[in-house]
Amino acid sequence: MPLVDASVSSFLEFQSALTAANTAGTGTITTTAGFAILNNITMFSGVTFVINHQIDFNGSFTNQGTIINNGNLTLNAVSFMMLVNSGTFINNGTFGNAGTVSNSGTITGSGTFVGSNTLHVVTFNLGGGSHSGGQPLIQAVVNVDNASQPAGLTRSGFVFEAWDGSYTNVTSSRTITAQWVAPVTFTSVSADGTAGTTTTSELLLNFSANPTSLTASHVTVSGGVTVTGISGTGNTRSVDISGSWLMAQA
């Protein structure tokens, strides 16, 4: 039986190594020279293909495992030339795409995406924060497809508010940056107000008596913030605000 891990320099060697690795459900295949992939190929989950040279796809490549491109990977311009990725494709070299890419997995990397059917690169800038899960911070997506935002966003002393750009229906490469706001302690300057707190979108006001005539026009917030409404009954009222703020008075 051929070795599961293999170094290959030709398409025939690649075919043999891939068959063994797919059967075993594991293995790493590494190029030692460039060659063309001539037939339709399926690479199963658990198998890794490390490309260090020029590889031309002249057929359909269905990837359920991991492709790591450190060289030059070219998908040629023929109607049946496809990369169907439901695994992971890490491009640290050059990916020339003149064919068709279908992606339900992850495409990422620090390399270059070129060609007539170029993928768009979406870079998530955490703006001083960190993330604990989700997709990579650099993702390549098919035209008008969606990137996936990182999960578990945190930044000490701040609350995540939004991204400053769109990662859906992507039609061009872009960098979008996380926007953060600092929770602020509110102190009322009115005679009957007491201390309250705010989140990114809501200010809680406590009064010594029921302010029966309180409306949005009675609350002002500095820093270009808009008061969008007031709700609640009794001595505690919820004031909806948009934007960051520094001081409020009622």
Burial call 221-242: b when 16+ CB within 10 Å, e when fewer: beeebebeebeeeeeebebebe
**Nearest C-alpha neighbor of 15 from the set 96, 52, 36:** 36
pLDDT digits 0-9 by tens, 142-187: 888 899 999 999 988 777 878 999 999 999 999 999 988 765 444 4
Least confidently predicted of 1-15, 22-36, 87-101, 225-239: 225-239
Task: Identify the pLDDT of residue 197.
Answer: 45
Cα 132 from Cα 109, distance rounded (Å)? 19
End-to-end CA distance of the chain: 80
Write the single-letter amino acid at 11. F
Task: Identify the pLDDT of residue 229.
Answer: 80
Q: Cα angle vertex 174, ends 144, 100, to 5°?
A: 40
Is pLDDT larger for residue 17 or for residue 240? 17
Q: Token pair for residue 43?
A: 């690479």
Residue-wise DSSP of 35-62:
EEE-S-EEE-TTEEEEE-SEEEE-SEEE
Category of 176 on φ-ψ map: left (φ > 0), alpha (ψ -120 to 50) or beta:
beta
Cα 55 from Cα 33, distance rounded (Å)? 9
pLDDT confidence band for 213 (50 / 70 / 90): low
Is 161 in a helix, a strand, or coil?
A: strand
**Nearest C-alpha neighbor of 55 from the set 10, 23, 110:** 10
Distances (CA, A) of 38 to 30, 32, 56, 57: 18, 18, 8, 7
**Nearest C-alpha neighbor of 35 from the set 7, 63, 62:** 7
pTM score of the predicted model: 0.69
Hey, where are the domains in the chain? Answer: 6-118, 121-181, 185-249
Residue 45: count of CB within 10 angstroms of its CB: 14
